[in-house]
Amino acid sequence: MHKTRPLFACLLAGIFLFGISVRAGGEGVSPTLAGQDSASVAADLQVLIPSLIKAARIPGLQVTLVRDGRVAWHVNFGVKNGAINEPVTDETIFEAASLTKPFFAYYAMTLVDQGLLDLDKPLVG
């Protein structure tokens, strides 16, 4: 398998999950998450994520749901080493390089769209 395929699949899964977290926290809340408590969202994700990682052929993934600045749910999926079927654990470290930069840029631009951030003004006043 080509080396960039798993990285690309992880990036797509990350964007999907980031989109869920952004929609869950503000206006334009996804109808599937609107008004749900953390346990309900976690139960939905527990069912949804395995099919997504299987379709994207992602061997392993860690997911954390953060609500109100606190970890509401955390789970590990799959394996970190497919050759020996070593499962992903809380101690597994995934090298993500600078993949968080696009997520932060997307989030910043959503704040610009909402009028909460002005790119023409300094952050420190």
Q: What is the pTM of this model?
A: 0.54
Q: How many CB atoms lie under 10 A from the CB of residue 122?
A: 6
- What confidence score (pLDDT) does residue 89 get? 93
What is the domain partition of the chain in residue ranges? 4-113
- For residue 78, the cross-strand partners are 60
Helix and strand totals (H; E) in the chain: 3, 3
Least confident of 3-7, 12-16, 43-47, 53-57: 3-7
CB crowding 17-46: b at 16 or more within 10 Å, else e: bbebbbbbeeeeeeeebeeeebeebbeebe
- pLDDT of 85-115, one tens digit each? 999 999 998 876 777 788 888 888 999 999 9
